[in-house]
Structure 1
Amino acid sequence: MGVSLSPWQMFLTAEPVVKFVMTLLALGFVTVWVILISKTIELSRLRRRLMAEDKILNASHNMDDAFQHLEDEDYLGHGMILAVKAEQERSRDITADRDGVKERVILHLERIEAAEARALNKGTGILATIGATAPFIGLFGTVWGIMRSFTGIAASHATSLAVVAPGIAEALLATAMGLVAAIPAVIVYNHLSRETMQCRAHVADLTSGLMRIVSRDLSRQALNAPAPVLQLRSAADA
Structure 2
Amino acid sequence: MPTAPAALGSVTATQFGVDAVAHDLSMWGLFMSADLIVKVVMIALLFASFWTWTIIINKTILMRKLNRHANNFEDAFWSGGSLDTLFERVGTRPRDPMSAIFGAAMREWRRIAGKNGVKATLQERVDRVMQVTLGREMDKLERSMTFLASVGSNAPFVGLFGTVWGIMNSFSSIAASKNTSLAVVAPGIAEALFATALGLIAAIPASIAYNKISSELNRYGNRLDSFSNEFGSIIARQLDEER
> Shorter-chain TM-score category?
0.7 to 0.9
Provide the alpha-carbon RMSD of the alignment: 2.0
Where structure 1 has 5 or more consecutive residues not aligned to the other structure, the ranges are: 223-238
Give per-residue Cα distances to partners, 1:73-132, cap 9 Å, x unaligned. Answer: 1344443344324433336212552xx321221111110110011011112211111111
Match of 1:47 among 40, 58, 67: 67
Write the distance in 2 (CA, Å) between the matches of 1:198 and 1:114.
14
Matching residue of 1:149? 170
Higher relative contact order (CA 8 A, sep 6+): 1
Write the distance in 2 (CA, Å) between the matches of 1:146 and 1:136.
15
Matched, 1:38 2:58: yes
Paired residues for 1:1-238 under 5 Å: 1=17, 2=20, 3-60=23-80, 63-71=83-91, 73-75=93-95, 76-88=97-109, 89-90=111-112, 92-97=115-120, 100-222=121-243
Write the distance in 2 (CA, Å) between the matches of 1:163 and 1:25.
27
**More moved, 200-209 vs 4-13:** 200-209
Q: Is the 8 A contact 1:80 1:112 kept in 2?
A: yes
CA displacement at 1:65 relative to structure 2: 4.1
Q: 1:218 to 1:60 in 2, by over 3 A?
A: farther
Give per-residue Cα distances to partners, 1:5-52, cap 9 Å, x unaligned. Answer: 222211111111111111111111111211111111111101111122
Write the distance in 2 (CA, Å) between the matches of 1:55 and 1:209.
14
Q: Is the 8 A contact 1:10 1:169 kept in 2?
A: yes
**Misfit runs of 4+, over 6 Å:** none
Q: Is the 8 A contact 1:57 1:209 kept in 2?
A: no
CA displacement at 1:195 relative to structure 2: 1.7
CA displacement at 1:61 relative to structure 2: 5.8
3-state SS of paired residue (2:25): coil
Q: Is the 8 A contact 1:54 1:205 kept in 2?
A: no
Q: Is the 8 A contact 2:91 2:100 kept in 1?
A: no
Query: Given the two structures, how large is their TM-score scaled by the length of structure 1?
Result: 0.84
3-state SS of paired residue (1:93): coil
**More moved, 18-27 vs 133-142:** 18-27
Write the distance in 2 (CA, Å) between the matches of 1:208 and 1:70.
19
CA displacement at 1:58 relative to structure 2: 2.1
Query: Given the two structures, how large is their TM-score scaled by the length of structure 2?
Result: 0.82
Q: 1:85 to 1:74 in 2, by over 3 A?
A: closer
Write the distance in 2 (CA, Å) between the matches of 1:60 and 1:94.
30
CA displacement at 1:219 relative to structure 2: 2.6
Q: Normalized per residue, which structure has more helix?
A: 2
Q: What is the count of residue pairs matched by the alignment?
A: 220
